[in-house]
Structure 1
Amino acid sequence: MKTVLHRVAALVLAVLCVVGLPVPQASATPATRYTNPIAERRADPHIFKHTDGFYYFTATVPEYDRIVLRRATTIQGLASAPETVIWRKHSSGEMAAHIWAPEIHFINGKWYVYFAAGRSDDIWRIRMYVLETSNANPLTGAWTERGRITTPWDTFSLDASTFVNNGVRYLIWAQQEPGISTNSNLYLARMGANPWTITGTVTRLTVPTLAWETRGYKVAEGPTVLQRNGRIFLTYSASATDANYCLGMLTASASADLLNASSWSKSANPVFATNAATGQYGPGHNSFTVSEDGLSDVMVYHDRNYRDINGDPLNDPNRRTRVQKVYYRADGTPDFGIPVPDGATPVRLKAYNTDRFVRHWEYRAKLEANVSPLADSQFKVVQGLAGSGTVSLESTNFPGYYLRHRDLEFWVDRNDGSSTFRNDASFSQRAGLAASSAVSFESLNYPGRYLRHSNGLIVLQAVTDAQGRADATFALE
């Protein structure tokens, strides 16, 4: 079958060359689509994809009293996977309160869980600890307490994570440093002889000083890294854990001396924040994993679907785990966009014959490269407004607005509830007219006419030749 498909693809390319049409770009990354939330009442989520084909998921539970673990062969499968308690808090003394932010890692043939915990006699005496098991399946293994991670100061510390760069394993974490009037800063050190010991220089990477880092509390916490395009992108959470919670980012070259603080630059603004339009508040404490096909990075994070909280946000149990695809700008930096609405994650429509995307600009649909903001080019493919058997394309950053044709041009308009609108915004999704691995969208009320690009605009036209078929074909990224 693969041989036949390869021959067909080669024939398509040959025809395009003969008739002088543009040859399609290299195959696009397939759309990574999930349904959010992945898990209710699970904060500080961490998903690790292992070589055994399983995704392993752990997170903070609202009772702050145990560490849980799930596994599944898909990210979406984690939503319904059974959950195992692998460790419970002590009845007294150390590790007896505020069991927070577990992360699971596979290091040198063993599983490790990093977490933070307080004491029964002082629940805010938060420190970092490590569990270990050598069992191939960490859900059934016996876990050994490897004790506390020792740092230069015996102060509030949490959110340990680890990564390897150029053969060197590092630990990153958040801590309150004596003499600095913040709740927590970010630190980096090399790992020593084992995964619970640091060695050598400890580098302070950043102190929360900007307005968006200091709302409610002066916080930099929850560090995690994304290693791509010759750089290390370190995201972290800032401000209070209510709707002010957001993500910042530090960036360093992968070839730089990471223990030199000047190797890192801080983004001036949050890279991911509350979005009232999509109904997502306080997104933060993220991690990264990869899609099932290994072609897309996926950001994992928590948020709430409401703004107002009674009392201390830490006592509100309704943070939930969510995921969405990470996109990259032309300069190789990640673009996290906005926290997308609940339900199916959106896609981008990438033209088959040019490296450009369908986007809306002042509500008109256009074709453009390097779209900013990213969400202008993201659409949810939902059941058609005109009924089953059709699809509609709902704007991500303007929920309730849909891509619809009006006077044979396309706009993003609010659904007015009329039958005319429902029909104008509903399509039959077909296999791509120029490539079966892509898609085309045929108008419901104008059969034979397709959504296609023409002179940079998105229009509704009949398709009568090879050029038209190519213009009416899109990859869903």
Structure 2
Amino acid sequence: MTPRPAAPSRRTLLRTLAALPASAALLGEAPGLLGGALAAAPPNGSATRYTIVPFRNSDDGTVDVYQSDDATDFRLLRSSAYTPPAGRIRDASVIRHTDGRYYAAYTTRTWQDPSTTIGFARSPDRVNWTFLYDHTVPVPGLSRAWAPEWFVDSDGGVHVIVSCSTTNDEWIFTPYLMRATDSALTAWSTPVPLTGIGANHIDTFIVRIGSTYHAFPKNETTKYIEYATATNLTGPYTIRRTGDWAGWGSYREGPALVQLDNGAWRIFFDGYGDGTYYYSDSRDTFTTWTPPAALPGISGTARHFSVVKETVTGGPSLARNTTRSFRSANYPTRHWQRQSSLLNLPVVDGSSGSAEKQAATFTVVPGLADAGGCSFRDTTGAYLRHWDFRARFDANDGTRTFAEDATFLLRAGTASGSVRFESYNHPGRYLRHYAYQLRVERSDGTDLFRQDSSFVPVTAWA
């Protein structure tokens, strides 16, 4: 069999044709967040679960399913989870609906071909998908209907935002809104354009915070993701930020947002110009953003997805207001120990002296910044926190910065009974040992990193 060539970016033609004109058991949900849990650390014994269903860079005829507990380190859950009976599947957007099932909406044709339909599929478990139907988008003179994105409003209304172009100008896209008119998501209202965003914008993703709708479209003229707001879902929107306003760079597409456990918003986008998938975080309602970071593990493989966030049972558990010691999961003779003011990982055993055992004993307390997380006190009353990403102990100075530096969110470890500790204010960074020193380091998606950042709570040495 001749191997299928890599699926090119649907924007490749737009870039190169000079003739184009410039121009689980859910514990809580929040409307407008694509079926996502509210922002807070998951309860003890529960876990946050993020699911994505991207198509492959090498094959736009199927999608894979990935899962993560931190929105950074995605692991393959099922390969080739869904292949439509005809056409292609690109730009899949997924929600969990009120019936408990998952629904995908997607582009049905590759970028070269006219495409007047968007596809729908359904799954009971995120893993096993079945085809529902292709919906013809009733826009007069439609040439292409691309990148449908789900949006669930605060009234429970389910919508799809789809980017459409007409035969008069088949490469100039405008965002349209359709509302589901039945609970089965099989009937749709007549599409209406989102006013204010304007033509030559694509991949519009919307979240609602309070009474404001926040839209993130891609400007096909400049190749930058822009930012717009409105007080009504259909608009009029006002474009607030243009150009490289967030420092993400150009030739970015497919923005998708999700709210993290610490309340920050994370945007994912496909860096089709350089083959990298990126994420960036904002904690001030989209005013400033962290520098874009490559999404480990799936960059260069996964393409254009949205994110379903859920809180599910079966997560890690660690009793608060108890004393524990912490053993390395992959170096079982080594334990956390305070040495001077720093946290290191020396050998601690029965022959260790009483001072060494005391220095390897900690009190687990509710997180200073979020009681659903945890903080750690040593026997002197100082708290474990990160400073310049080094793990160290300091007296609590009562500031918000200290509270966040000293709070960690529980994630499942690699070994039975082990736990990983994610930084509260630097999502995607974990307490990790390197050269037997503890630092807060960014996950690189490797098994070694997961092992180095896994620790087993054991009976306190002192």
TM-score, length basis structure 1: 0.50
Partner of 1:131: 120
Partner of 2:56: 61
Partner of 1:285: 254
Partner of 1:169: 158
SS at match of 1:199: coil
Partner of 2:212: 231
Distance in 1 separating the partners of 2:56 and 2:343: 40
Kept in 1: contact 2:147–2:162 (CA 8 A): yes
CA gap 1:64/1:134 in 2 versus in 1, 3 angstroms: closer
Trace 1:230-269 onto structure 2 (pairs within 5 A). Answer: 230-239=211-220, 245-253=223-231, 256=232, 258-259=233-234, 261-262=235-236, 264-267=237-240, 269=242
CA gap 1:49/1:439 in 2 versus in 1, 3 angstroms: farther
Distance in 2 separating the partners of 1:431 and 1:100: 49
CA gap 1:42/1:323 in 2 versus in 1, 3 angstroms: farther
Kept in 2: contact 1:151–1:198 (CA 8 A): no
Q: Residue 155 of structure 1 is aligned with which of 143, 148, 170?
A: 143
Trace 1:91-102 onto structure 2 (pairs within 5 A). Answer: 95-97=86-88, 99-102=89-92
Trace 1:69-468 onto structure 2 (pairs within 5 A). Answer: 69-78=65-74, 80-90=75-85, 95-97=86-88, 99-109=89-99, 110-118=101-109, 123-135=112-124, 137-139=125-127, 141-153=128-140, 154-167=142-155, 168-177=157-166, 183-193=172-182, 194-200=184-190, 202-206=192-196, 208=198, 219-239=200-220, 245-253=223-231, 256=232, 258-259=233-234, 261-262=235-236, 264-267=237-240, 269-270=242-243, 282-291=251-260, 293=261, 295-303=263-271, 306=274, 318=275, 320-328=276-284, 333-337=285-289, 339-342=291-294, 436=383, 439=386
Kept in 2: contact 1:103–1:115 (CA 8 A): yes
Using the TM superposition, give the Cα deviation of residue 191 of structure 1 relative to its aligned residue in structure 2, in angstroms: 2.0
1:105-143 per-residue CA deviation (whole Å, 9 max, x = no partner) reads 112322111110227xx94112443333352x121x241
TM-score, length basis structure 2: 0.51
Using the TM superposition, give the Cα deviation of residue 175 of structure 1 relative to its aligned residue in structure 2, in angstroms: 0.4
1:218-276 per-residue CA deviation (whole Å, 9 max, x = no partner) reads x3111111222431101111226xxx5321122112xx4x33x43x212252465665x
Distance in 1 separating the partners of 2:399 and 2:229: 39
1:403-444 per-residue CA deviation (whole Å, 9 max, x = no partner) reads xxxxxxxxxxxxxxxxxxxxxxxxxxx98999737555699x
- Considering fraction of residues, name the structure with more helix: 1
Residue segments in structure 1 that go unaligned for 5+ positions in a row: 1-40, 210-218, 307-317, 345-388, 392-429, 451-462
Distance in 2 separating the partners of 1:305 and 1:203: 28
Distance in 2 separating the partners of 1:203 and 1:472: 44
Residue segments in structure 2 that go unaligned for 5+ positions in a row: 1-6, 11-32, 38-46, 297-341, 345-375, 406-424, 426-462
Distance in 1 separating the partners of 2:266 and 2:245: 14
Distance in 2 separating the partners of 1:473 and 1:160: 42
Letter in 2 for 1:113: A
How high is the sequence identity, in percent, across the aligned residues?
7
Distance in 1 separating the partners of 2:403 and 2:273: 32
The count of aligned residue pairs is 288
CA gap 1:442/1:55 in 2 versus in 1, 3 angstroms: closer
Kept in 2: contact 1:431–1:439 (CA 8 A): no
1:266-322 per-residue CA deviation (whole Å, 9 max, x = no partner) reads 2252465665xxxx652331111232x36322211121584xxxxxxxxxxx2x332
Distance in 2 separating the partners of 1:290 and 1:283: 20
SS at match of 2:172: coil
CA gap 1:238/1:43 in 2 versus in 1, 3 angstroms: same
Using the TM superposition, give the Cα deviation of residue 148 of structure 1 relative to its aligned residue in structure 2, in angstroms: 1.9
Partner of 2:435: none
Distance in 1 separating the partners of 2:247 and 2:139: 35
Distance in 1 separating the partners of 2:175 and 2:242: 17
SS at match of 2:161: strand
Distance in 2 separating the partners of 1:472 and 1:147: 50
CA gap 1:431/1:81 in 2 versus in 1, 3 angstroms: farther
1:56-109 per-residue CA deviation (whole Å, 9 max, x = no partner) reads 11223222221221223332331x33442122255xxxx424x32111111232
Distance in 2 separating the partners of 1:338 and 1:440: 18
CA gap 1:342/1:70 in 2 versus in 1, 3 angstroms: closer
Partner of 1:374: none
Letter in 1 for 2:228: L
Kept in 1: contact 2:269–2:279 (CA 8 A): yes
Kept in 2: contact 1:274–1:282 (CA 8 A): no
Kept in 1: contact 2:138–2:190 (CA 8 A): no
Using the TM superposition, give the Cα deviation of residue 54 of structure 1 relative to its aligned residue in structure 2, in angstroms: 2.5
Cα RMSD after superposing both structures? 4.4
Letter in 1 for 2:286: P
Distance in 2 separating the partners of 1:283 and 1:148: 28
CA gap 1:267/1:178 in 2 versus in 1, 3 angstroms: farther
- Pick 1 or 2: higher relative contact order, CA cutoff 8 A, min separation 6: 2
SS at match of 2:143: coil
CA gap 1:471/1:165 in 2 versus in 1, 3 angstroms: closer
Partner of 1:377: none
Letter in 2 for 1:286: P
SS at match of 2:195: strand
Distance in 1 separating the partners of 2:94 and 2:402: 42
CA gap 1:271/1:233 in 2 versus in 1, 3 angstroms: farther
